[in-house]
Amino acid sequence: MSNLTKSHIEPPTSDIRHLTSEEIPPWAILSQSPVRKVPKRDVFNMVLIGVAKAFADLNNKSLSPQERDYMVNELTDNIIARYPAIRINEIPVAIANGIRGKYGEFYGLSVVAFERFIEQYLLSEERVQAVKSLPALGTARPAPGKQEQFATAKSNTLMALQHKQSGKSFASMAGSVYDFLDRLQLLQFNRDEKYDMMADACRQLVGDLKYKLLTAPGHQRSALRRDKDAYTAALKGGALTGEQNQNVIRISKRLALDAFFNQVMMEEVDLDAVVEGKRGCFEEVERWT
C-alpha cells in the first residue's frame, strides 16, 4: 500500500519548431503502444477528438450529448476489440482521411462509417509500408544504440509538443516523454508542486470514476466505488494500492508535462535545440532500472 500524504508519497522526479506530418517518421508513431495496451479513457479521448473534428470539418449538425456518448463509447469499444494494433494517434488521422474521401465515398457519419475509415486506413499502402519498415517480431537485431534511442525519444517529445499546440491529446506519450525530459534534467518542479500534481491526479481520477458510475453495469459499480473512495481518501492521507498509486503517477506525469509545455510555449523556447543541448545527460550511464 502507498500513501498520498507529503510525508510518505514519492512523486515522480524531475522560436518553437512546428513539425509537419511529413517530418514525423512513421516509426515514431508505430513505436508507441497499441490501443490494447493503453488506458481505455485515453482511447476514448482520442476518438472523441477525431469524431468532433469530423463533424466540425463537414459542418454537420452537432450531436446531442446522448448521441455523442453512444457513438464515441461504441466506437472506442469496437476499435479496441477489432483493431487492437492501431495506435491512438493514428485514429484522428484515419478519420480525417476518411471524411476527405481518401477511402472512397461514404454516406453520413456513423459508427459504421468511422469503423470503415479505421479499417481502410490500416489497409492503406502508406500504413502497410510503415509497418514493413519496422523490424519483424522475433527477428534478432542489435539493441538500438544511445543515438537511436535519443533520436526516437526527441521525436516523440516534439510530437507531443505539437499535439499540445494543436489541442490534441498527448496522453499516450506523456509517461515516456516525461521520463526522457526528466533524464535530461529539464523538469524542475519542487516537491510541493509535485505533490499538488499528485493531488490533482487523484481529483481527476475521482471525476472520471463518477462519470463511469453513471453508465456502468451493476457488476462493475462496486469496484468503481471502491476506487473512487480510495482516491478521495488519499487526498487526506489514505492509503492506495500499488495499481492505484501507479494510476496517480501516470496522470501526474501528464499534468507535469502539460505544465512544462505551457512554459515552453509561453517563453517561446526552441525545445528541439534545448533537448539537443542536453544530449550528454542522456548518454550518461543510466541512473535507474
Residue 287 confidence (pLDDT) above 80: no
What is the reported pLDDT for 128? 76
pLDDT of 144 over the 70 cut: no
- Per the CB < 8 A criterion, the answer to whether 76 and 42 are in contact is no
Query: Which whole number is the average pLDDT over 9-26?
Result: 41
Average pLDDT over the chain reads 81
Across residues 134-154, what is the average pLDDT? 67
Burial class, 14, CB count within 10 angstroms (exposed 0-12 / middle 13-18 / buried 19+): middle
Q: In the chain, what percentage of residues exceed pLDDT 90?
A: 28
283 has a pLDDT exceeding 90 = no
59-109: pLDDT as tens digits: 887 778 888 888 999 999 999 988 888 998 899 999 998 998 888 777 788
**Confidence band, pLDDT 50/70/90 cuts, at residue 13:** very low
Residue 5 has pLDDT above 70, yes or no: no
C-alpha dihedral (281, 282, 286, 287), degrees to nearest 10? 40
Residue 255's nearest CA partner among 210, 208, 189, 211 is 189
Residue 163's pLDDT is 86
177-231: pLDDT as tens digits: 899 999 999 998 888 998 999 999 999 999 988 988 888 778 878 988 999 999 9
